[in-house]
Amino acid sequence: MPDPIRVRDLELRFGERTYVMGIVNVTPDSFSGDGLLAGSGYIEAAVAQARRMVAEGADIIDVGGESTRPGHEAVSVADELDREVAVVGAIREALPSLPISIDTSKEPVAAAALEAGADIVNDVAGVTADAALAPVAAAHDAPYIVMHSRARPAYEDVVAGTITDLRGALSRAEAQGCRPQSLIVDPGIGFGKTAEQNLAILGGLAAFAALGRAVLLGASRKSTIGKVLDLPADERLEGTLATSALGIAAGVDILRVHDVAANVRTARMSDAIIRGGWTEGQT
């Protein structure tokens, strides 16, 4: 069982319940259609969204300023700093005890966001040659989420290959100063994998326990769900909830999602069945 991680007023006690991370996209081109930068007043909109997600049961808010969808437009360091740091600071001021994650692959953005009040580094490039955020996380003693990706979807066995890649990234992060108990892994649904390979990862999530780290699942509204169900991003809730429930059954610890309320309810019901501990009269 991974060691607990303390983040502000929240102690993440993995194995006892599932934690829900709400996504705040400060982008104009999010694949899920929920980017906040397309209109004016995006900082206020981000704070309002964070407040709503917390009211719906989110444990953590993940702030991102660059879309990672296929074919997305690259964002400069300066632009991403402008987008994310002000939003992180505003959410921190509005919600002082809320754990905030910064979703980036850029070292200056991660460092500035941590200084502005973020607590967790979520590194989309965590296993790639561009991975550079482990020393930043280590310097701030921040939990570090290592997400899997490959340039091409070439695997003999996608589950075994992903685990091998993540194991190497975890070793590198420890060598760069991250405490082992602060590391979290994300198998990277939709990153360097075909739809069939994503389904294989989802079906093999239990194998990731071998890494001895908490596992984050980010399948919310992903294109694989759209392909299986033949549905656009804004109609993929039921498919997402299926991945959440089955992920929890396989041992997933954190769900990174767009639709917080529905996923919180799914997590609570799944936890009651899978993890136990619920008694009548408990709220």
Q: Tell me which residues are annotated as active site.
A: 222, 256
Q: What is the DSSP-derived secondary structure letter of residue 72?
A: P
Q: What is the DSSP-derived secondary structure letter of residue 213?
A: S
Q: Which helix (H) or strand (E) holds 164?
A: helix 158-175
Strands 100-104 and 120-123: parallel
**3-class secondary-structure state, position 5:** strand
Give the residue among 104, 181, 96, 97 at the shortest CA–CA distance from 138: 181
Q: How far is CA 123 from CA 36, 102, 136, in A?
A: 21, 8, 11
**3-class secondary-structure state, position 69:** coil
Question: CB pairs under 8 A, 24+ apart, for 174-179?
Answer: 176/134, 176/135, 176/138, 177/134, 177/135, 177/138, 177/139, 178/134, 178/137, 178/138, 178/144, 179/138, 179/141
